[in-house]
Amino acid sequence: MANSSYADRHAPDLTTKPCPKCGNPAEECIWVEENVRQGWYCPQCGEFDKAIGRERVCES
Ligand SMILES: [Zn+2]
């Protein structure tokens, strides 16, 4: 079972990211056609954290 704290310590997991505004988990938004990560959307407060640089590369 995936544990978020385990992932934080052992592997870079960019599927979710703490919201910069409220700290709740923000979910990744991927542009499927280009396989590019657009950023992370927080369903709690509506914040969108735009991906920059290598964060935009989706390797999955
Ligand atoms: Zn938020």
Residue 38 has a pLDDT of 95
SS3 41: strand
The domain ranges of the chain are 22-55
Q: Which residues partner with 41 through β-bridges?
A: 27, 48
Residue 14 has a pLDDT of 83
CB within 5 A of ion ligand 1: which residues? 19, 21-22, 42, 44-45, 47
Residue with tokens 């657009």: 38
Going from the Cα of 22 to the center of ligand 1, the distance in angstroms, rounded, reads: 4
Residue 50 has a pLDDT of 95
**Distance, C-alpha 37 to centroid of its chain:** 8
For 7-32, write each residue's pLDDT tens digit: 555 656 789 999 999 999 999 999 99
Going from the Cα of 26 to the center of ligand 1, the distance in angstroms, rounded, reads: 7
